[in-house]
Amino acid sequence: MRSKSHSSRESAIPAEPIDLDMTPMMNMLIILISFLVTMVVFTHLAVIKFSLPPGQGNAAADTSTAPKGAEVDITVLVSEEGYRIIGEGRKLDPIPKNKGQYDLPTLGKYLQKLKEEFATAETVVLLIDTSVIYQDVISTMDQCRESKFPKILLSGGFE
Amino acid sequence: MSLKRRKTTEAIKPQMTSLVDVLTVLVFFLLKNFSTEGDILTPSKNLELPVSTAIARPEKVLTISISRENILADGQAIASVGEEAARKDINIPALAEWLIEQRKNTEEIAQYDANVSFKGDLVIQGDKQIPYWLLQKVLHTCGENGYGSFSLAVLQKNDG
């Protein structure tokens, strides 16, 4: 309003810069920040759910459980050397470790191929060597899930 | 003197804009990491969880933690990894004992409360460096005692 009525004069005398009162804004932001800092979570925890096969209560994860009925039997061997997929009585080429790391992309490709071949297959049995560390087990399970095999059974020989 | 002082007080105008900018960015960053659910699961000490792409949320159930030195049941150390490595047996007696006790407790409560029932749910927090045989021992012990539904606790990858 004011600036409009004085528009003719403004060109001659430069208008004083408008002072925004930032104090309430700052107060609000600081309170908001302290509130958010107390509620913030930097590590998001999640869980991977899996069950022992029903009726196998006594035989735990160490028993290799053949998927029942029409399910296709796909087993991924996880050993110190790398992966090896055994499916339907066939053995696919072994997937050796790449620079000391498990070759997850190649495993994904192989599983993808198997998925195309057996579209209904959902179960993968992981046969894991006893010395494989937990992070590799989890990564392998992740890769299986990404390759659309949501049912993962853990298995392994106990020495 | 008095004139001079008045001049200086007039001259000082704190630049708030940049400060507000910083605070606004901070607010957005914190909002992004904001969690309304709180922590249902607290990671145990001396334990580094593996990283995973899993997104399922944890539930409040019994927790077994496997660190590099100990096996803990609800925060209490009940077995040592070194001893378990030496013993060539797939069961962990101390853990089995604890699991049976917990099961008994739950079933006793279930007699009086229809909302409580024994489902055999467990959350397992494992250090990412533990070998598979240790996990297998724990899983076997749990399976033998009627706990058949596991949740493996993991850290969510940040790209999602």
Helices (H), A20-96: 23-39
CB B43 within 8 A of CB B153: yes
Structure confidence at residue A136 (pLDDT)? 87
Interface test with A, best of B35, B36, B40, B53 (most A CBs within 10 A): B53
Q: Per the CB < 8 Å rule, is A29 touching B23?
A: yes
Q: What is the DSSP string of A57-70?
A: SSS-TTS--PPPTT
pLDDT tens for B48-97 read 778 888 777 777 778 888 888 888 888 788 888 888 778 777 788 888 88
Residues 88-117 of B with CB under 8 A from A: 88, 90
How many CA atoms does the CB half-sphere of B27 hold within 13 Å? 15
Q: Does residue A63 surpass a pLDDT of 60?
A: no
| Chain B neighbors of A62, CB-CB under 8 A | 90, 136, 139-140
pLDDT tens for B106-141 read 888 888 888 877 877 888 888 888 888 888 888 888
Structure confidence at residue A71 (pLDDT)? 62
CB count within 10 Å of CB B153 equals 24
Going by pLDDT thresholds of 50, 70 and 90, the confidence category of residue A31 is very high
Least trusted range by pLDDT, from A93-97, A152-156, B6-10: B6-10
Distance, in Å, from the CA atom of B123 to the CA atom of A49, rounded to the nearest integer, reads 9
Q: Specify the 3-state DSSP secondary structure of B147.
A: coil
Write the ipTM.
0.70
Question: Which pTM was predicted?
Answer: 0.70
Q: Read off the pLDDT of each residue in A105-116 and give the average, rounded to a whole number.
A: 84
Q: How many CB pairs under 8 A join A and B?
A: 179
Q: Does B121 touch chain A (CB under 8 A)?
A: no
Q: Per the CB < 8 Å rule, is A33 touching B27?
A: yes
Going by pLDDT thresholds of 50, 70 and 90, the confidence category of residue A41 is confident
Q: Read off the pLDDT of each residue in A36-61 and give the average, rounded to a whole number.
A: 66
Distance, in Å, from the CA atom of B4 to the CA atom of A150, rounded to the nearest integer, reads 78
| Chain A neighbors of B128, CB-CB under 8 A | 133-135, 138
Bridge partner residues of A95 (DSSP): A83
Shortest CA gap B155–chain A (Å): 5
CB B106 within 8 A of CB B118: yes
Bridge partner residues of A126 (DSSP): A76, A154
Bridge partner residues of A123 (DSSP): A151
C-alpha distance from residue A103 to each of A99, A140, B128 (Å): 9, 10, 18
Q: Does A138 touch chain B (CB under 8 A)?
A: yes
Q: Does residue A65 surpass a pLDDT of 60?
A: no
The rounded percent of chain A whose pLDDT value lies above 70 is 76
Q: Per the CB < 8 Å rule, is A62 touching B136?
A: yes
Q: Does B41 touch chain A (CB under 8 A)?
A: yes
Interface test with B, best of A16, A52, A134 (most B CBs within 10 A): A134
Q: Read off the pLDDT of each residue in A145-154 and give the average, rounded to a whole number.
A: 82
| Chain B neighbors of A64, CB-CB under 8 A | none
